[in-house]
Amino acid sequence: MDLFSNLALGFGVALTLKNLFYCFIGALFGTLIGVLPGIGPLATIAMLLPITFHLEPTGALIMLAGIFYGAQYGGSTTAILVNLPGESSSVVTALDGYQMARQGRAGVALATAALASFFAGCVATIVIAVAAPALSRMALLFGPPEFTALMLMGLVAAVVLATGSIVASIGMVMIGMLLGLIGTDLTTGEQRFTFDVREIFDGIDFVVVAMGLFGVSEIISNLADRHTRELPATKITRLLPTKQDFLQAAPATIRGTLLGSILGVLPGGGALVSSFASYSLEKRLATDPSRFGKGAIEGVAGPEAANNAGAQASFIPMLALGIPPNAVMALMIAAMTIHGITPGPKFLTDQPTLFWGMIASMWIGNLILVVLNLPLVGLWVKLLKIPYAYLFPMILVFCCVGVYSINYRVFDVFLMAGFGVFGYCLRRIGCEPAPLVLGFILGPMLEEQFRRTLLLSDGDFLVFVTRPLSATLIGVTVLLLVMMALPTLRKGRESAFRE
């Protein structure tokens, strides 16, 4: 079969000593910067681009790809250990992963995340190899109405993330969207809510918001209730998942992988939507949804698998069409351009060794990552044994440096302090930050696509239902809404009858 000869060609390229080395370096470096909060793969790949002037293209791209998916692995580590999501997708992992850590199950959570990511990475690699050209066409079926519908679906799923009052989490999503609208409007170029502060003309960076709302405010509340806080260090019992953990996590992993492989292909936040779509799905399917937000292992396995599968799947439109579905892929294209290679529809036939070499290296990279990360779990967990008086200033330093390094300006550090205080106040009044963060990311995209849809249709709303794909997505969204509203209504009636 063609596929096997192609894969053989790919492994022939990826298994040369030099390329194995680049793959290892990429995975290692990716894990490192993924663990450091604030310094993401985007900044790292950008910094390394000039270095790749001097490397040969295959090795350079294998290394850059390794950094990208290595960072996805590493990103969940800080989210689980200290509630510090350095990337949008780890926001979801932090929800239950951090709770597991607080219960002394940090090792289990980290191992689950690594294993789920490994499984998802392997499957996604096969999906790319088999279906890249076919799936890439999916990215071209999506026009503004479809993106609008997808974002709506994501926002509805975002509401499910919270454990408390649904009304309050809808409010939090709206506040997040409002904060997301800060900056220069795309259509007119006018400023919104910027108050002539030039530093926020491009909007507030996601990392600033997430580190403030999660990391900094978590430290404030930990210090505030230190007398009631149970020290995780005293309770750590085991590092690896039990059989029961495994049985709970496995189906979630498979479903997450599936979601990620499909949604990851879509440009504009597909991979992200997949990670919390997976969380919402698991919460819906669970026999006891109330465990979610309190350390449910499915809440770690599913989104981690979805996130990693999505990250790998986002290579599909980049390699097969030359369309970057996210900013990191755009940089990968820049890296190829530096070497005179142009990804596009002809890439697969023009550069078979590069294409299949990269795909094979992804599988090898995932293997390297799991071998690298599982032994590290024990080390990471030991970090939690550091007394909090020493641990919290260290976390704060990493937050500050990370946020500063996004744009090299202290303004962002001040802004993070502001979001830390804001997040702490929100916690005190019982509002959770996760829906806010997702509204913050999806809100501006939703508005952009919605306005573009109506601009192109001359204000006709019917396009949303006359295009089959968008009609389907809107249908699913409405279904989700109904499913979400039903138990609440029922519960409302029950409690009304009881009184």
Partner 1 sequence: MIKAWAICGIAIATAISTIVPAAAVYPERPITTIVAWPAGGATDLVARGLQEALGKSLGQQVIVKNVPGAAGTIGTSEAAAATADGYTILITPSGPTVAQPHRMKLTYDLSSFDPICKLVEQPLVLMATKSTKYKTIADLIAAAKAAPGKITYGTSGPGSITHLAKLALEKAADIKLKHVPFKGSADAVQALLSDTVDLYSDQANLVPQYDLLPIAIYGETRSDNFKDTPTVRETGFDVVMTNYNAIFVPAGTPDAVKTKLGQACKAALDDEKVKEIYGRQKYPIAYQDAAAFKTYVEADYKRVKDLVEAAGLGKK
Partner 2 sequence: MGARQQHWAGFFFIAFGALAIWAGRGLTVGTASDMGIGYAPRALAIGCVGVGVILLLQTLFSAPVDGEPRVSLAWRPLVLVTAMVLGFGVLLPRLGLPLTIALMIPLAALSGESFRWPTMAAIAAGMALLCTLLFSTALKLQIPIWPF
Applying CB under 8 A, the residues found at the interface with partner 2 are 33, 36, 39, 44, 47, 164-165, 167-168, 170-171, 174-175, 177-178, 181, 185, 187-188, 190, 192-193, 195, 216, 219-221, 223-226, 387-390, 392-394, 396-397, 399-401, 404-405, 408, 410-411, 413-414, 416-417, 420-421, 424-426, 428-431, 443, 447, 450-451, 454, 459-461
Task: Single out the segment in contact with partner 1 by CB under 8 A; choices: 82-90, 155-163, 330-338, 378-386.
Answer: 330-338
Is residue 188 part of the contact set for partner 1 (CB under 8 A)?
Answer: yes
Q: Which of 6, 184, 222, 457 binds partner 1 (CB under 8 A)?
A: 184
Cα–Cα distance for residue pair 22/12, rounded to 1 Å: 15
| Residue 388 binding result from partner 1, partner 2, none, given CB thresholds of 5 to 8 Å by partner type | partner 2
Is residue 268 part of the contact set for partner 1 (CB under 8 A)?
Answer: yes
Helices (H) and strands (E) in the chain, counts: 22, 2
Residues 52-81 close enough to bind partner 1 by CB under 8 A: 53
Task: Single out the segment in contact with partner 1 by CB under 8 A; choices: 226-234, 318-326, 391-399, 464-472.
Answer: 318-326
Q: Which of 13, 91, 116, 321 binds partner 1 (CB under 8 A)?
A: 321
Paired strand residues for 184: 191
CA nearest to 432, candidates 223, 172, 217? 172
Q: Which is nearer to partner 1, 322 or 352 (CB)?
A: 322
Is residue 181 part of the contact set for partner 1 (CB under 8 A)?
Answer: no
Q: Could you tell me the smallest distance in angstroms from the CB atom of residue 442 to partner 1? A: 15
Residues 423-452 close enough to bind partner 1 by CB under 8 A: 448, 452
Is residue 50 part of the contact set for partner 1 (CB under 8 A)?
Answer: yes
| Residue 224 binding result from partner 2, partner 1, none, given CB thresholds of 5 to 8 Å by partner type | partner 2
Contact 82, 99 (CB under 8 A): no
Structure tokens given for 72: 């996805």
For residue 317, the tally of other CB atoms under 10 A from its CB is 27
Task: Give residue for tokens 């279906």.
Answer: 131
Task: Give residue for tokens 């794909």.
Answer: 469
- Write the single-letter amino acid at 146: E
Is residue 472 part of the contact set for partner 1 (CB under 8 A)?
Answer: no
3-state secondary structure of 196: coil
Cα–Cα distance for residue pair 299/192, rounded to 1 Å: 36
Contact 186, 448 (CB under 8 A): yes
CA nearest to 221, candidates 426, 440, 80, 381? 426
Q: Which is nearer to partner 2, 141 or 489 (CB)?
A: 489
Q: Could you tell me the smallest distance in angstroms from the CB atom of residue 197 to partner 2? A: 12
Cα–Cα distance for residue pair 12/357, rounded to 1 Å: 8
Q: Which is nearer to partner 1, 48 or 391 (CB)?
A: 48
Q: Which is nearer to partner 1, 386 or 455 (CB)?
A: 455
Q: Could you tell me the smallest distance in angstroms from the CB atom of residue 43 to partner 2? A: 9
- When computed from its CA atoms, the radius of gyration of the chain, rounded to whole angstroms, is 22
Q: Which is nearer to partner 2, 24 or 450 (CB)?
A: 450
Is residue 353 part of the contact set for partner 1 (CB under 8 A)?
Answer: no
Is residue 324 part of the contact set for partner 1 (CB under 8 A)?
Answer: yes
Q: Could you tell me the smallest distance in angstroms from the CB atom of residue 376 to partner 2? A: 17
Is residue 344 part of the contact set for partner 1 (CB under 8 A)?
Answer: yes
Letters for 11-40 (x = contact with partner 1 by CB under 8 A, - = none) are ------------------------------
DSSP annotation of 51 reads G
Is residue 294 part of the contact set for partner 1 (CB under 8 A)?
Answer: no
Is residue 481 part of the contact set for partner 1 (CB under 8 A)?
Answer: no
DSSP annotation of 233 reads G
CA nearest to 87, candidates 120, 121, 44? 44
Cα–Cα distance for residue pair 219/312, rounded to 1 Å: 33
Is residue 343 part of the contact set for partner 1 (CB under 8 A)?
Answer: yes
Q: Could you tell me the smallest distance in angstroms from the CB atom of residue 72 to partner 2? A: 19
Q: Which of 46, 170, 174, 286 binds partner 1 (CB under 8 A)?
A: 46
Q: Is 197 left (phi over 0), alpha (psi -120 to 50) or beta?
A: beta
Cα–Cα distance for residue pair 15/357, rounded to 1 Å: 9
Paired strand residues for 192: 183
For CA atoms 423, 428, 429, 433, give the dihedral sign.
positive
Give the CB-side neighbour count of residue 373, counting CA atoms within 13 A: 36
For CA atoms 442, 445, 451, 457, give the dihedral sign.
negative
Q: Which is nearer to partner 1, 294 or 452 (CB)?
A: 452
Is residue 199 part of the contact set for partner 1 (CB under 8 A)?
Answer: yes
Q: CA angle, 174 as apex, 169 and 179 as ends, to 5°?
A: 125
List contacts with partner 1 (CB under 8 A).
43, 45-47, 49-50, 53, 139-144, 184, 186-189, 196, 198-199, 201-202, 267-268, 321-324, 330-331, 333-334, 337-340, 342-346, 407-408, 448, 452, 455-456
